[in-house]
Amino acid sequence: MLIWIFPGDTRKVEMPSREMEVVKGQMVVLQAWYSPSSDISQNTVIWHFTGNESKQKQLCNFVRRKVGHGQNEFTKRVGFSVTMPSANLSIYINNTQESDSGLYFCHVIVPGGRGISGELRLNVKVPPSPPLCSMTGNPVVNGNVTLSCKSSQGKPAPHYKWTKAAPTSEVFFSPMQNERHGTLRLSNLTKGMSGKYICRASNTAGSDSCSINLEPTTASNGGMIAAATLGSVVGLVAMVLILIFILKRKQDTEEEMANEIKEDAQAPKRVSWAKSNTGSDIVSKNGTLSSIATSPRSQDLHQPKFPYPYSPISAIARAPVVGTPLKRTEGPQPQVPGPVAASPHISSSTLTRMGAVAVMVPAQSQAGSLV
């Protein structure tokens, strides 16, 4: 309420209310006027604001027939409602904010007279922000759950009210419902309590709502669902392990086959009896003759040398096949150490003591065949 006191006049001009309310974002007009007794163009008008910070801020003024504005958050949002000079001193505020709540002062200075003033409190209300609905507890039959609803903004503080939507509408009261904290406790759930639950947050500035669906399940159904989920996970893991095992086994088999092929591909080395120095048993195909060389190579290396002529026919040479002519090799042949033939000058016992080995030399006919 603004009260204006005029010089030499005890009458008061009263406003409908000393407080005004406005919803955030809307425009508000702070009304004030007086009845001048002199030229109003010479008067000075100043509007001030004091908020929660207790710091006075100038909004606008009319001084020496000119309109001015303060440099603060009200700049470009505040102005006189009518063209000055005027007996109507009302101002407007656009796009009101919550921080605009506070005391507004208007001072009128009359040259050569007493000044007059007035004040007005403005309250900017904030509607509730869209609330968030949530549920805690286990929604099973015979179980208990708590539904919660909360708005992050709202001035004054919102109140919350839960209701159950159609087809079975229901309204809840205390102690089940706490309108201040926005909670609703539901005990001993039944299938009939299934449905959509709506929470509405409201204050004098507005309201908003959210909802949540409740579907109580039986404990057995919950266990079956959990078991099915666990079984699916275990089955999937088992399939992955089996697949890995099969691939590993296939890879090992392929590696073994590759190794076997490599081993089979190696051609066997041809053994030459003629170059063998370790001794071997040679049997002719007709089975009548055989020559045996049992002396190891190590003994050949240590055999004593004799000055006697050495026979080129030895057990180490490859035995000819019966019926096949022998081919004589022309030219000098390598002298391979072998058994020493007995000499008429040395007895057989003496040769045996000296390490000589007796051999049987097959007879050869004139045609070159063995007999």
pLDDT in tens, the chain (371 residues): 344 444 444 333 345 568 999 999 999 999 998 888 778 888 899 999 999 877 899 999 999 899 999 989 999 999 999 999 999 999 999 999 999 999 999 999 888 877 788 889 999 999 999 999 999 999 999 999 999 999 999 999 999 999 999 888 889 998 999 999 999 999 999 999 999 999 999 999 999 999 999 999 986 655 556 666 777 787 888 888 898 988 888 877 777 776 665 555 555 555 444 444 444 444 334 443 333 334 444 444 444 444 444 444 444 444 444 444 444 444 455 454 444 444 445 666 666 666 666 555 555 544 444 44
Structure tokens at 247: 């691939």
* Confidence (pLDDT) at 284: 37
* Confidence (pLDDT) at 220: 60
* Confidence (pLDDT) at 228: 67
* Confidence (pLDDT) at 114: 75
Residue 356 burial (CB count, 10 A): 20
Q: Which residues does 99 contact at the CB level (< 8 Å), separation at least 6? A: 51, 52, 73, 124
* Confidence (pLDDT) at 253: 78
Q: What are phi and psi of 264, to 5 degrees?
A: -70, -25
* Confidence (pLDDT) at 327: 46
Homologous superfamily (CATH) of 132-214 is Immunoglobulins (2.60.40.10)
Cα distances (angstroms) measured from residue 65 to each of 61, 115, 159, 319:
10, 18, 50, 147
Task: Name the residue ranges covered by the structural domains of the chain.
Answer: 19-125, 132-214
Cα distances (angstroms) measured from residue 177 to each of 133, 155, 171, 361:
14, 22, 10, 126
Identify which of 210, 218, 211 has the alpha carbon closest to the alpha carbon of residue 191.
Answer: 218
Structure tokens at 369: 């065949």
Query: Could you please report the per-residue DSSP string of 27-87?
Result: -EEE--B---SS-GGG-EEEEEEE-TT--EEEEEEEETTEEEE-SSTTTTTEEESSPSS-S
* Confidence (pLDDT) at 250: 81
Rg (the chain; Cα; Å): 62
Residue whose structure tokens are 């709202």: 154
Angle at 82 between CA 78 and CA 86, to 5 degrees: 120
Please give the class, per CATH, of domain 19-125: mainly beta
* Confidence (pLDDT) at 243: 86
Identify which of 326, 338, 218 has the alpha carbon closest to the alpha carbon of residue 278.
Answer: 338
* Confidence (pLDDT) at 302: 46
The H or E element spanning position 161 is strand 159-164
Per-residue DSSP letter, 344: T
Report the Cα 262 to chain-centroid distance in Å.
47
* Confidence (pLDDT) at 62: 95
